[in-house]
Each structure stands twice: as C-alpha cells, then as structure tokens.
Structure 1
C-alpha cells in the first residue's frame, strides 16, 4: 500500500501545474498599451505614427450611454468585428489571446463566449471607465 501511495504521489508531482491566469491589466500592457497607452487613453508611443486616431478606451461606457459595451469590446479585441488601425485592421487578438473558453454575462443581458484572456482584458477595460 505504501508503494502505491508513493507511486501516486510521485506521479502527481510530475504533472504540470496549470498556470495562474494572467490579469487583464498585464494583458493590456503586453498587447494594447503600445497604441492605447498604459492608461488606455489613446496616448501610446505608436499613436503618433498611426493613420487613424487611437481611441481613449476609458470613455467607452460614456459613449454607449453609460453601460459598458462588453459584447462590442470583446468582438473588436477577438476580431469578430474589424476595426481600422494604421491603414489596416486592428490586430486580431483572438488568435493569440486564447486559452480556456468562458462565458461572460453582462448586466445588459445575453452571453458572450470568449477566451479567458480576452474576458480578463475586457473586464479590466470595464474597470477603468470614467
């Protein structure tokens, strides 16, 4: 019995441990801040060389009448909705921000299926609304 328990313990110790999900702010800094700035106000280092104005992402809820447009934000980030940037589409992060799928249920209703990383990023953007 002791051998069996030791074998099980050794096998369990050899299994990879799931990584902690990356936070929304970290994902934003790694993928979005170059254009949108660390504070999401559209003032990143690339903003001056792009052919279109980089939006201030802290005003999305205000522009939508006070409710954060979660479905629209997820659709732009993951590429379901094309968005022009630097003469072409904004990068499609649905290809790189993948992982476990989750379902968001925004207060406005409905369900949004997306990756855990895109959900974290969108939820962080929701938290910085003014």
Structure 2
C-alpha cells in the first residue's frame, strides 16, 4: 500500500519510524558504553544485586547465604570448575535468567526481568531498554571473569 502523502509503502514508513527510534536511542546506548569504560559498573552492579547472597568477595558467603535453603556457589572458581575457561555465555544466561536456563535453584532472581523493569523504556518504545539490560548483565559477567582465581 502506497501512502499518497509520501509515496512510501507502509513497510517503508514503519522502517523509517524504527530507524528514527534507533537514532534517538543511540546517544543513550553509546553514552552507556562510554560510562562503562570510565567506571567499574560490573563491580557496582555486582555489589548492588549479587553480594547479598554471594558475598563481597563472591565466595558464597553473603549475609543472606545462611538464610537460603540451597548452597550459594563460590563465583571466583567458575573458571577452575570449567577446565580453566570462564563460561561467559552460561554465566550471562544464568544472571539474566530469561532464557529458561535455570541450573541453579529457585532463590536466584531473574535479573534480566528485574533490570528491564528498573529501566522502563523511554518514550514508550518497547524493547528500548534491552541494550541497557544486556549491558548490566554483561558488566556483571565481565566483573566475575575478572575475579577468577
């Protein structure tokens, strides 16, 4: 269907709208990436979201660990338990939790969903917060990789 006003098809109009939204979001996405390089956001996000159970040093000895009915893993030994290779994809999937990969017991929160709710999309654009959610999850995973023993 051709629009009489612009001569563009409906598909082209929708693509143009998506591109406009994409370009409107670029400063936020690029700004977040630049800020992540200046600060250790992974350590910050870990401290805010993970240390309660896993501990400040990620050894599984957080203040809430004694109250859980499951053992809280030592996150500094993930590489050692995986033949010396940090299991980045698996760690990302477990932190995010939205993939359905639930190798841990129920007490582990679904941080992908939590972060998405925290980062409500600006300007009512569904999915606009997803790059920021993935950035938080990746920041935590990279922080965990950096503290492997």
Q: TM-score, normalised by structure 2?
A: 0.61
Does residue 53 of structure 1 match 2:83? Answer: no
Query: Deviation of residue 84 (structure 1)?
Result: 3.5
Q: SS of 2:140's equivalent? A: helix
Does residue 90 of structure 1 match 2:108? Answer: yes
Counterparts of 1:49 and 1:83, CA distance in 2: 20
**Contact 1:24 1:120 (8 Å CA) reproduced:** yes
Counterparts of 1:94 and 1:100, CA distance in 2: 9
Does residue 117 of structure 1 match 2:136? Answer: yes
Unaligned 5+ segments in structure 1 are 1-15, 103-113
Q: TM-score, normalised by structure 1?
A: 0.70
Query: Deviation of residue 100 (structure 1)?
Result: 5.3
Q: SS of 2:114's equivalent? A: coil
Q: How large is the RMSD of aligned CA atoms in angstroms? A: 2.3
Q: Give the structure with the larger strand fraction.
A: 1
Aligned length: 102
Query: Deviation of residue 96 (structure 1)?
Result: 2.5
Ranges of 4+ aligned residues in structure 1 off by more than 4 Å: 16-19
